């Protein structure tokens, strides 16, 4: 059974909260690689776009595309954590939570 639009919006809000938490952790941590900061900024922008798409009632295909983009950016953020030298454990955990929320949403959409 496909998710209702209000459920999708709620899930996007949860994803956005996780992304925001990760971005805030990055701001508080001085030694975060620039690549990770860039990924989190892209995640925030794409999450905002995805919410707009959902609110405008655009098709599920477009919503899935947004989630796929979020997933790819989330993967890059995870790679940045792994390859960026020392990244604070709290920052890594916040990025991991955001990525998990994106994956969960993707599974529910399919």
The per-residue pLDDT for range 8-63, each reduced to its tens digit, is 888 888 999 999 999 998 888 888 889 999 999 999 999 999 888 888 877 788 88
Tell me what pLDDT residue 67 has. 92
Which token pair is 1?
Answer: 């059974």
Domain range summary for the chain, segments of one domain joined by + = 5-109
Which token pair is 94?
Answer: 């916040």
Could you report the per-residue pLDDT of 71-105, keeping only the tens digit for each? 999 999 999 988 867 788 899 999 999 999 999 98
Tell me what pLDDT residue 103 has. 94
Domain 5-109 = CATH 3.30.450? no
Name the 3-class secondary structure at 86: coil
Distance CA 107, CA 110 (A): 5
Cβ–Cβ < 8 Å for 54, 5 = yes
Tell me what pLDDT residue 108 has. 85
Tell me what pLDDT residue 56 has. 84
Distance CA 37, CA 15 (A): 17
CA angle 5, 10, 13 (to 5 degrees): 125
């Amino acid at each position: 059974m496909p998710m209702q639009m209000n459920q999708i919006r709620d899930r996007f809000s949860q994803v956005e909260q996780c992304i925001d938490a990760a971005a805030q952790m990055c701001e508080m941590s001085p030694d975060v690689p620039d690549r990770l900061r860039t990924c989190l900024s892209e995640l925030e922008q794409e999450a905002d776009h995805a919410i707009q798409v959902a609110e405008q009632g655009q098709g599920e295909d477009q919503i899935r595309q947004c989630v796929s983009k979020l997933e790819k950016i989330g993967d890059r953020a995870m790679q940045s954590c792994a390859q960026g030298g020392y990244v604070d454990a709290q920052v890594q955990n916040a990025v991991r939570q955001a990525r998990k929320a994106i994956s969960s949403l993707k599974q529910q959409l399919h």
